[in-house]
């Protein structure tokens, strides 16, 4: 699907930082940083269970023409993928808990559940940016396994660029991009305060 408006850089940022890609990358990276190679393996399992299934649902929906793009530009088309995400994360959390996965990896899955619940409920009535939400929340998670201040500074700059790109390609308003960042970061912060 052709992107509306925007330059090549904005489109590239939108593609590279698609929420499903960021959600898939977050648990292995956090696991690796916290627990080394064993943590990476646990993170890959969490990513496959919690983020891989919804990403596959979106990819199949796009191929079959039921979804407009991997970015789910049409707000009404987000319900099915959100339900798939909710189910996948619940199953993933159960499997990770049963296998006694490391706490940081379980926390990554719990953060994904918080995103689906918080941003998912908002998107039922108003189009919020999952791009900025998932990226901002991922920065919060990584700030728990790396020095917090530099991660949050770099994360803030990156989320601002992602928000700019989403507005530039005409997929969101500035308010939707800001709301996504705030909701994603708040959901991650609250979840990690309980679990870590």
Please give the pLDDT value at position 1: 35
Q: Is the dihedral of CA 115, 33, 18, 176 positive or negative?
A: positive
- The model's pLDDT over 46-74, given as tens digits with 9 standing for 90+, comes to 999 999 988 888 889 889 988 888 888 88
Helix (H, G, I), strand (E, B) or coil at 172: coil
Find the mean pLDDT for residues 110-123.
96
Domain extents in the chain: 8-195
Predicted local confidence at residue 118, as pLDDT: 97
Indicate if the pLDDT at residue 2 is higher than 60.
no
| Mean pLDDT, the chain, integer | 93
pLDDT tens sequence across 157-196 = 999 999 999 999 999 999 999 999 999 999 999 999 999 8
Position 57 scores a pLDDT of 86
pLDDT at 105 over 90: yes
- Residue 3 is classified by DSSP as P
The CA–CA distances, whole Å, from 181 to 17, 101, 136, 175 equal: 13, 28, 5, 10
Model-level pTM?
Answer: 0.92
Residue 75 pLDDT level (bands cut at 50, 70, 90): confident
- pLDDT (0 to 100) of residue 152: 98
Which tens digit of pLDDT belongs to each residue from 17-42?
A: 999 999 999 999 999 999 999 999 99
**pLDDT at position 67:** 85
Cβ 176 vs Cβ 127: under 8 Å: yes
Which of these, 159, 76, 164, lies nearest to 124 by C-alpha position?
Answer: 76
């Amino acid at each position: 699907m052709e992107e509306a408006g925007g330059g090549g850089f904005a489109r590239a940022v939108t593609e590279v930082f698609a929420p499903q890609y960021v959600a898939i990358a977050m648990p292995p990276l956090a696991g690796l940083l916290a627990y080394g190679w064993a943590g990476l393996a646990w993170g890959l399992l969490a990513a496959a269970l919690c983020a891989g299934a919804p990403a596959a649902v979106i990819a199949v929906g796009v191929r079959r023409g039921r979804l407009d793009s991997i970015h789910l530009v049409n707000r009404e088309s987000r319900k099915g993928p959100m339900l798939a995400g909710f189910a996948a994360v619940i199953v993933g959390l159960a499997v990770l808990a049963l296998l006694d996965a490391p706490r940081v990896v379980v926390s990554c899955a719990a953060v994904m559940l918080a995103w689906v619940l918080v941003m998912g409920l908002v998107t039922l009535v108003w189009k919020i940016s999952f791009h900025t939400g998932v990226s901002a929340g991922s920065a919060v998670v990584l700030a728990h396994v790396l020095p917090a201040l530099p991660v949050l500074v770099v994360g803030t700059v990156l989320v601002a660029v992602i928000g700019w790109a989403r507005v530039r390609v005409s997929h969101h308003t500035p308010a939707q991009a800001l709301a996504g960042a705030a909701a994603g970061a708040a959901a991650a912060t609250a979840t990690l305060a309980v679990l870590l």
